[in-house]
Chain A
Amino acid sequence: MGKIEKFISLIILIILLILLAVLFKRLYTPMEVASTYEVAVIMDNSSEEYWKYLMLGAEKAGIDSNVDLRFVGMYIDMKEEEQLSYIEREIQNNVDAIVISPINSKALESWLEGRKISIPIISIGGKIDSEKVIKHISADNYTMGERLAEALALEDSLETSYIFYPHGAVGDVVERYKGLINKLEELEIAYEVIYLNSGVLEPGNVYAASIASSGSVIGLTPGITELLSASFGEVRSVYGVGITDNILKGLEKGTIKKVIAQSDYDSGYLSINWIYSYLDGKKEEEVFLEIYEVDKNNMFTMPLEQILFPIS
């Protein structure tokens, strides 16, 4: 065999062996069905209503991305210390990532400070100002506040509007509030802020004495919106934030004039989708959550009907 023949023969043999090795590896190593990740979704103390559609969206993304989801804190009236302990527990359970809707963003920021956490954390709902939280997924709350103000501006009468500011509001609620009042001032709409003493708004028009007999009332959270609907819905225009079944009923009945909302289903889907891309080393896409203005007239039209009533 000549030198050239030997050389060519050797090269071909090497390539052949490499390809054989590759083929055997492909055929005989168990096929990984795209890496399976475990993600814990730590809920806040919002109602089941609030989480219903978010969970639907998250579960859909989990199926598509092969992510095992664990919803922690479901249906429990959770305090912030409990939530923090859940985070600790899930980290010790070696989850691959955590999605959290903080009860108290500030408290969580302090808790994360100085802790060594090697897994990614993303927040939905309230924003957490910490380098350990790598992404916040939510609609722009400031803009939501502005859109609420713009909705008010369409009222026929421009009486003073009453903003019900929840006790201990942080993060997203504060952002909404800022957007709302800045816009109201810009639009020269008179408003008054009612500071709630406790975390709940007691029904039965308890605040009726402190506000004028007319004028719109504005809730900055879904819970407050629901209660405003129950308390004031028959007699004044109620504006609010968020989508729950009660809010939808209020809209349908007419006890809620208009709400500004994001799609919780989308929020759930996009958060899990994003964390999967991150864990899988793929390019993470920017997340934009639309803001919708919902009233009685458009709630059953497409595409809002689909967005407001996700098929379970």
Chain B
Amino acid sequence: MSKIKFKRAFEVLKNHFPYLGIRYAVFLSFTITAVLAITLTALTIYLRFSNQIEETVQNENRNLVEQAKLSLNTYLRDMIGVSDALYYNIIKNNELEADEIDEKFELLYNTYSSYIDKLVVFSSEGKILNSAPAASLSKDAQVTSEEWFIRAKEKPENFHFFNPRVERVFAGADYRYEWVVYLSSSVEITKEKDTEQGVLLMVLKYNGISQLFENIRLSNDGYVYLMDDIGNIIYHPYQQLLASGIKKENNLELASYKDGNYEDKLSGEERSVIINTVGYTGWRVVGIVSTKDLVTVGVDNVLFLLIVLLFLLEMLILVNTYITNKITYPIKRLEESLKGLEEYGNEREIYIGGYYEVRSLGSSIQNMVNRMKRLTEEIVEEHVEKQKSELNALQAQINPHFLYNTLDIIVWMIEQEEYEGAVRAVTALGRFFRISISKGRNIITVANELEHVKNYLLIQEYRYKDKFKYRVHGDKEVMNMSTIKLAVQPLVENAIYHSMDYMDGDGIIDIRASVRDGRVNITVEDNGMGMTEETVNELLKAGPKSTKGSGIGLRNVHERIKLYFGEEYGVSIESKPDYGTCITLIFPAIPYGELEENI
């Protein structure tokens, strides 16, 4: 269920969250990547660092425990050394009751009195043979039942250390309750040349051991204690409180552990335990450190790390912002300039700047815009030219001379009572002008264009009586093709004025229209004067205005064909002096209606 909800929420976010611009996308990508990298690095360093700190602290604690163990070892060895010295230098092979033995006893005792409470030699029956200082047994003391006595006799080769106890074996002038540690060993006593097994008891002051541990502090509240091999406390900084149950210690449990480092828990507190066994006695030095202390060591370091991390993050954001801006600002400006172009057209320049790719893009767009601008201008120019040409052509058609002359002819025919001819002439004139105007259209059918020139020739026939004959013919398939209007008549006009005018009735003007190879060919051929090659070449270059006829000429027709249909079309002229002239209009065969008027 929660999976579905999560998916839906994600979809909603995806659809409704505003589209992030490239700037934010780049910024977020940089930032997230860098943050991840920094965080991983920092985490790794922190873990390593904190582990190292912990390791260092643990090592320090281990060293302190080791030091305590060595100190205790040294102490125990020293006491064994004193016992040995007492035995081998004083007791062995000497009569214990001799005065000089007493002095030696006293001397040795005095030397070590800060550690030793008593030095006592017992006979095998438990009787005191010698002691320093002087000592007597307490009333209830049963020496031969004491464990230290029994063990010394049973294992004469060893030294026997015993757990601390309140001294009660020996009586004093005043009852004293001191804590002592017994060290017993078997000795060979010489008595009147006989030897017997006795027991040497060194009563050691407890503070000889306690002062080795009292001042050891592990990691703030950590401490060290000493227990025997089965877990009985020998020294503990809270010995009294353990006895009354106010404090707790798991010494009995730890007695089963081997030497080493352990983690344990006592009364809800996590602790680090270090155990080290002292040689010979089997006593164990135990170091206890609360792991809470170890963690506290790291708080300042965590704080420091967080500060460094945040500082880096802050720098990262600033740098990222700068870099992102550097990258995306030119793109933004390019975008804005394109918008400006869209709104305000070519008046606005395209922004070209920033990095290479953006500059290149801007430059390309600017070039494209410039080309578009040029093309537009060319089209406009072309269109204007067309309009001009059309206007010129039209203007030519409404040439007053042609109209006057034609009207004169009609008037004359009416005066001559050649009414039929007059009607035909008026009708032809009307049709001529109707097709000339063609309701303002520039493109008409070939049929209409031929009709137009027929009407023209009919009128001119009346004027140029019997000077020429004419024929107008168009193939069936060409009749419905598109042509520009007023294309043929100017050519026929030229033929009349420049050739037929000089003929004596045998002039022929032949107009043919056909479709060949996808092109419309309209030829106007005459058998008139012809022209030289130079004259032909000049005709299409300049636009000489003829004084006769419409005056718009060949060039206008040629230009209009090119404008409408392309550079590869137009007017071609073949002429030979005295033979005549053939002018061909060539343009693509496009059925009427398919050609855009406003090309």
Interface stretch, picked from B38-46, B299-307, B392-400, B458-466, is: B299-307
Stretch at the interface among A167-175, A178-186, A262-270: A262-270
Which of A19, A249, A252, A302 lies in contact with B307, CB distance below 8 A?
A19
CB contacts (< 8 Å) of B166 on chain A: these are 300, 305, 309
**Contact call B240/A311, Cβ cutoff below 8 A:** yes
Of A4-12, A80-88, A146-154, A234-242, which binds chain B? A4-12
For the complex, what is the distance from the CA of A32 to the CA of B554, rounded to whole Å?
113
- Among residues 308 to 323 in chain B, which have CB atoms less than 8 Å away from a CB atom of chain A? 310-311, 313-314, 317-318, 321
Q: Is A206 an interface residue (CB 8 A)?
A: no
* Per-residue B-contact encoding for A265-290, CB less than 8 Å = 1, 0 else: 11001100000000000000000001
CB pair A311 B239 closer than 8 Å: yes
Residue of A nearest to B23 (CB): A2
Q: Known contacts A57-B240, A307-B240: does B300 contact A27 (CB below 8 Å)? A: yes
Q: Is the CB of B245 within 8 A of A306?
A: no
A265 vs B241: C-alpha distance in the bound complex, in angstroms?
9
- 7 more contacts with CB within 8 A, not counting A20-B307, A266-B246, are A12-B317, A23-B303, A57-B240, A245-B177, A265-B240, A266-B244, A305-B166
Q: Report yes or no: A12 in contact with B310, Cβ–Cβ below 8 A.
A: yes
User: Do A290 and B244 touch across chains, with their CB atoms under 8 A apart?
Assistant: yes
Q: Any chain A CB within 8 A of the CB of B168?
A: yes
Q: How many residues of B contact A (CB 8 A)?
A: 31
A209 CB-CB contact with B under 8 Å:
no
A307 CA / B48 CA spacing, docked (Å): 47
* A310 on the B face (CB < 8 A): yes
Q: Which of A249, A270, A304, A309 has the most CB of B within 10 A?
A: A309
CB-CB under 8 A for A26 and B175, given A12-B314, A270-B246: no
Q: Are A311's CB and B318's CB within 8 A? A: no
Give the chain A neighbours of B314 by CB distance below 8 A.
9, 12-13, 16
| Minimum C-beta distance from A177 to chain B (A) | 26
Question: In the complex, what residues of B have CB within 8 A of residue A60's CB?
Answer: 240
On whether the beta carbons of A22 and B23 are closer than 8 Å, the reply is no
User: CA–CA, A218 to B240, complex, Å?
Assistant: 28
Question: Can you offer 26 A-B residue contacts whose CB atoms are under 8 A?
Answer: A4-B24, A5-B317, A5-B321, A12-B310, A13-B314, A16-B310, A19-B307, A20-B307, A23-B307, A26-B300, A60-B240, A248-B175, A265-B244, A266-B246, A269-B246, A300-B165, A302-B243, A303-B243, A303-B244, A304-B243, A305-B165, A305-B166, A306-B242, A307-B240, A307-B244, A309-B179
Closest 9 CB pairs of A and B: A306-B243, A303-B243, A16-B310, A249-B175, A310-B240, A23-B303, A309-B166, A309-B177, A19-B307
Look across to chain B and name the residue whose beta carbon is closest to the beta carbon of A13.
Answer: B314
Q: Is B206 engaged at the interface, CB distance under 8 Å to the other chain?
A: yes
Residues of A within 8 A of B304 (CB): 23
* Chain A residues, CB < 8 A from B245: 290
Instruction: Mark each residue of chain B from 438 to 460: 1 if its CB lies under 8 Å from any CB of chain A, else 0.
Output: 00000000000000000000000
Query: Which of B23, B179, B241, B242 has the most chain A CB atoms inside 10 A of its CB?
Result: B241
Nearest B-chain residue to A263, judged by Cβ = B244
The answer to whether A252 and B300 have CB atoms under 8 Å apart is: no
In angstroms, Cα B240 to Cα A208, docked, is: 39
Determine if A19 and B243 form an interchain contact, defined as CB atoms under 8 angstroms apart.
no
- Hey, what's the 0/1 contact readout for A1-44 against B, CB within 8 Å counting as 1? 11011001100110110011011001100000000000000000
Chain B contacts for A16, CB-based, 8 A: 307, 310-311, 314
Nearest CB in chain A: distance from B301 CB, A: 10
- Chain B residues with CB under 8 Å of A1's CB are 321
On chain A, the residues within 8 Å of B210 by CB distance are 311
**B206 and A311 contacting across the interface, CB-CB below 8 Å:** yes
Interface hits, A67-112 → B, CB 8 Å: none
**How far apart are the CA atoms of A249 and B317 in the complex, in Å?**
81
CB pair B177–A263 under 8 Å, yes or no, is no
Any A CB within 8 A of the CB of B27 = yes
Question: A252 contacts B175, CB within 8 Å?
Answer: yes
Within the complex, the shortest CB–CB distance from B315 to chain A, in Å, comes to 10
- Complex Cα distance, B165 from A291, in Å, reads 23
Q: How far is the CA of A307 from the CA of B179 in the complex (A)?
A: 12
Q: Are A252 and B168 CB-contacts (below 8 A) given A15-B310, A19-B307?
A: yes
Taken together as a complex, chains A and B put the C-alpha atoms of A19 and B239 apart, in Å, by 43
Residues of A within 8 A of B206 (CB): 311
Residue in B closest to A8 when the chains form the complex, CB atoms: B317
Which residues of chain A are within 8 angstroms of B303 by Cβ–Cβ distance? Answer: 19, 22-23, 26
Given A15-B310, A245-B177, the answer on whether A269 and B241 have CB atoms closer than 8 Å is yes
List the B residue with the shortest CB-CB distance to A1: B321
**Residue on B nearest A292 in the bound complex, by CB:** B244
- Given A266-B240, A311-B206, does the pair A248, B317 have CB atoms closer than 8 Å? no
User: How many whole Å from A285's CB to the nearest CB in chain B?
Assistant: 10
Enumerate chain A residues within 8 angstroms of B179, measured Cβ to Cβ.
309, 311
Shortest Cβ distance from B351 into chain A, in angstroms? 20
Residues of B within 8 Å of A23, CB to CB, are 300, 303-304, 307
Q: Which residues of A contact B306 (CB under 8 A)?
A: 19
Identify which of A2, A245, A304 contacts B24 (C-beta below 8 A). A2
Supposing A23-B303, A245-B175, A309-B179 touch, asked if A263 and B318 sit within 8 A by C-beta, the answer is: no
Report the Cα distance A238→B333, complex, angstroms.
Answer: 109
Q: Give the contacts of A157-208 with B (CB-CB under 8 A).
A: none
Residues 209-245 of B contacting A (Cβ, < 8 Å): 210, 239-245
CB distance from B253 to the nearest CB of A (A): 18
Give min CB distance, B321 to chain A, whole Å: 5
- Nearest-neighbour CB distance to chain B for A241, whole angstroms, equals 18
Bound-complex Cα distance A9 to B31 (A)? 12
Query: Are B240 and A9 in contact, CB atoms less than 8 angstroms apart?
Result: no
Give the Cβ gap from B491 to chain A, nearest Cβ, in Å.
72
Contact status B241-A266, CB under 8 Å: yes
Residues of chain B from 276 to 315 with CB closer than 8 A to chain A in the complex: 300, 303-304, 306-307, 310-311, 313-314
Which residues of the other chain, A, contact B244 by a CB distance below 8 angstroms? 263, 265-266, 290, 303, 307
